[in-house]
Amino acid sequence: MAVSMSHKQKAYQGILQKIRQYMDAQHLQPGDKLPSERELAYTLGAGRSSIREALRAMEFLGLIETRRGEGTFLSTYQSFQTVELLASFILQEKQTRLDLADVIIILEKEAAKLAFWNMTKQDIAHLQAIIYQEADSLKDMHAIFFQCIFKKSNNKLLAKIWSLMYDFLAVEQEISNHKFFYKDLIHMYETKDYQGIETLFEKMILK
């Protein structure tokens, strides 16, 4: 078998990686052309059908754009259409919601900890202001509050995952019960109580 399959991983997943590497190595910009499917197949040592499955995945994500007779190109725009499509599939299974809630708490906790070391007095004051100026809803306030924290965490990926998950949270679903929570967190920043953050969030994990 040409494509190295490390443990059940399908070929197209490996190919995705390789194509990504290729894009990186060649410094491809949006709009640039990718090698032809046949060439990719030869270069990466895979069958053309496997290459195509990988490309379909990328196309589905809006990463590339294929034009018959011309070739495959890096997409110039990030299509968000996919997001909406996916949103329509959101499931209502109970367990998933519980999982989701935990995941969000975990992300918020870690962001709060990462942000800990970058938190200035000004930032703290800002947080304070957020919880006092009444927002439309608790959920909005919560979102703004943590957007701020995620920003200070300096990890955009973490922030992105969070915002995505957060969008899925049913509106009715409670976020954090009381304002005490936010005040407590701010207080920990003020008093440099790193360990306290862990404890504060830990209580909220359901299981």
Which residues contact DNA by CB under 7 A? 1-3, 5, 10-12, 34, 36-39, 41, 45-50, 52-53, 55, 66-72
**Distance in Å, CB of 172 to a second copy, minimum:** 10
Residues 19-48 that bind a second copy (CB under 8 A): 20-21
Give the neighbor-by-neighbor strand order of the sheet with 64-67: 33-34, 71-74, 64-67
Query: Using CA atoms, how far apart are residues 98 and 56, in angstroms rounded to an integer?
Result: 32
Pick the closer one to DNA by CB: 41 or 197.
Answer: 41
Is 53 exposed, middle or buried, given 0-12, 13-18 or 19+ CB atoms closer than 10 A?
Answer: middle
137 forms part of the interface with a second copy (CB under 8 A): yes
Handedness of CA 161, 167, 142, 104 (dihedral sign): negative
Q: How many angstroms separate the most distant Cα atoms in the chain? A: 64
The type of residue at 1 is: M
Query: Using CA atoms, how far apart are residues 121 and 129, in angstroms rounded to an integer?
Result: 12
Residue 65 structure tokens: 């754009």
| Residue from the set 26, 43, 82, 120 that interacts with a second copy by CB under 8 A | 82
Q: Dump strand ranges (E) for the chain.
A: 33-34, 64-67, 71-74
**Residue 160: which of a second copy, DNA, none does it interact with, CB under 5 to 8 A by kind?**
a second copy
Pick the closer one to DNA by CB: 47 or 196.
Answer: 47
**Residue 96: which of a second copy, DNA, none does it interact with, CB under 5 to 8 A by kind?**
a second copy
158 forms part of the interface with a second copy (CB under 8 A): yes
Pick the closer one to DNA by CB: 36 or 154.
Answer: 36
Q: Which residues pair with 133 in a beta bridge?
A: none
Contact residues for a second copy, defined by CB under 8 A: 6-8, 12-13, 16-17, 20-21, 49, 52-53, 56-58, 60-63, 68, 77-93, 95-96, 99-100, 102-103, 106, 110, 114, 117, 135-137, 139-140, 143-144, 154-158, 160-161, 164, 167-168, 170-171, 198, 205, 207
